[in-house]
């Protein structure tokens, strides 16, 4: 049986004309993307809990930095995590990249709009933070 929260969210995305792919063994995840002003775009992996009461929204790595900047990037990510609510920035030490993520509690009857709003908020924060990240990488 397919994940109902994913199905409800997919139907909402359909109503908004948002392109996506349902993925996972139980169609419990959605892959989608949003265009941004400061960054060509950001891709999201949206994973719904089996309980259909929570969702994890993850970006793919959207910024890559040189290994020599790793310590600076950890400091920067800490600053970004203090500056922005609702989003957690992460440094991947092995890949030397930065990603962002969000977790939310959802209700089945309104999860489509809730997930959409979380994605928009995450996209806006990534877009706002991207120039700050690039400045730190190239400083």
| pLDDT at residue 26 in the model | 77
Helix extents (H) in 34-110: 70-83
Query: How many C-beta atoms surround the C-beta of residue 83 within 10 A?
Result: 13
Distance CA 8, CA 114 (A): 11
| Nearest-10 crossing angle of helices 111-138, 4-16 | 80
Distance CA 118, CA 106 (A): 10
Q: Is the pLDDT of residue 108 over 80?
A: yes
**Radius of gyration (Cα) for the chain, nearest Å?**
16
Query: How far are the Cα atoms of 9, 36, 103, 119, 137 from residue 46, in angstroms, in the given order?
Result: 10, 18, 10, 9, 28
| pLDDT at residue 16 in the model | 96
Fold of the 4-138 domain: Yope Regulator; Chain: A, (3.30.1460)
pLDDT tens per residue across span 115-139: 999 999 999 999 999 999 999 999 8
Distance CA 69, CA 86 (A): 26
How confident is the prediction for the chain on average, in pLDDT? 95
H or E element at residue 114: helix 111-138
Q: Is the pLDDT of residue 24 over 90?
A: no
Distance CA 92, CA 97 (A): 5
pLDDT tens per residue across span 76-99: 999 999 999 999 999 999 999 999
């Amino acid at each position: 049986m397919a994940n109902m929260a994913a199905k409800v969210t997919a139907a909402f995305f359909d109503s908004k004309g948002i392109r996506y792919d349902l993925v996972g063994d139980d169609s419990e995840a959605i892959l989608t993307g949003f265009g941004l002003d400061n960054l060509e775009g950001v891709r999201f992996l949206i994973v719904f809990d089996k309980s259909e009461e929570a969702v994890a929204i993850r970006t793919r790595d959207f910024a890559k930095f040189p290994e020599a900047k790793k310590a600076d990037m950890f400091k920067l990510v800490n600053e970004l995590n203090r500056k922005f609510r609702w989003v957690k920035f992460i440094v991947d030490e092995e890949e030397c990249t930065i990603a962002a993520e969000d977790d939310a509690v959802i209700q089945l009857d309104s999860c489509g709009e809730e997930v959409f709003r979380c994605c928009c908020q995450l996209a806006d924060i990534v877009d706002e933070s991207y120039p700050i990240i690039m400045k730190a990488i190239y400083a």
